[in-house]
Amino acid sequence: MAVYDANSISVITFQDEEYPEILREIHDPPLILYTVGNKDLLQKPAIAIVGARTADDYANTAISLLLPPLIEQQLVIISGLAKGADTIAHEQTICMDGKTIGVLAGGFFHLYPPENKVLAEQMKKNHLILSEYPPIWKPQKWHFPMRNRIISGLAQGTVIIQAKEKSGSLITADFALEEGREVFAVPGPISSPLSAGTNRLIQQGAKLVTSGHDILEELYIS
C-alpha cells in the first residue's frame, strides 16, 4: 500500500522468514507484525525491561545500573513505549548507544502516549517500533495486556523495575513465565507501594537482580 511505503511501514507475517523465531514459540503469537525501523533487531538476543508508569528516581537509577553490561553484550532492550519505566529504558538505552525496540498497543498513526512522539520518531530512525495492529487502529484498553505478551515473547528474559501490587508489568511477568522465559525483579523499599509488586515477585521465585551481570549470569552470557 502506498500509505505504508510513504511511512516506511513494513509488514511481517507469521509465514515470513524474517518473523522472529523466539516469538513463534509463544502460546498466542501475533499473525502479523507492522514495523518501522531496523527489522534486523528482531533477530538479535533481547531483554525486556518494564515497570510502573509512575516510576520515580529509584527506577531511573536502577535502569542506569542494569543497562551497561547488557548493552556491552549487544542485547537489544525491549519495552512498551509507555510512560515511566518504559520511557526511561528506551531513552537510557539510546543514550548508552544501545539498541531498543518499542512495542505499541495501537497503530502507528495513533501513538500512545502522545508525549512519546518525539522518542518514537527517534526510534524509527535507528531502532525499531512495532505493533500487531494496523496503523489506523486506535489503542483500546484490552490491547495493552495483549501487547505485553509480545514484549516478553521477543525477549530471553523480562526485568520488572517497579510495580504496584496490581500492575500491568506483572501481566508481562506472567506471560514470560508461561512462555518459559526468565523473570527478574529489582527489589525496592518495603515502605514504597511501587515495590509491592516486585518484592512479591521475588518472594514467588523471580530472580533478584541488582546489576546487569546478575541477568547475564542467569542467561549464561559472559
Give residue-wise pLDDT tens across range 97-130: 999 999 999 999 999 999 999 999 999 999 999 9
pLDDT band at 157 (very low <50, low <70, confident <90, very high): very high
Give the pLDDT of residue 222: 58
Q: What is the grid cell recorded at 11?
A: 509488514
CA dist., res. 114 & res. 188, Å (int): 29
Number of H helices, E strands in the chain: 9, 9
> What DSSP line would sit under 36-63, residue for residue?
EE-GGGGGS-EEEEE--TT--HHHHHHH
- Backbone phi, psi, residue 34, to 5°: -95, 130
* In the chain, domain spans: 2-218
Question: pTM here?
Answer: 0.96
Q: What is the CATH number of domain 2-218?
A: 3.40.50.450
Give residue-wise pLDDT tens across range 177-221: 888 999 999 999 999 999 999 999 999 999 999 999 999 999 987
Average pLDDT value over all residues in the chain: 94
CA dist., res. 118 & res. 67, Å (int): 22
Average pLDDT score over residue span 78-95 = 97
**Cβ burial 49-87 (10 Å sphere, 16+ → b, else e):** bbbbbebeebbbebbeebbebbbeeebbbbbbbbbbbbb
Give residue-wise pLDDT tens across range 13-64: 999 999 999 999 999 999 999 999 999 999 999 999 999 999 999 999 999 9
CA dist., res. 35 & res. 135, Å (int): 10
Q: What is the grid cell recorded at 80?
A: 512498551
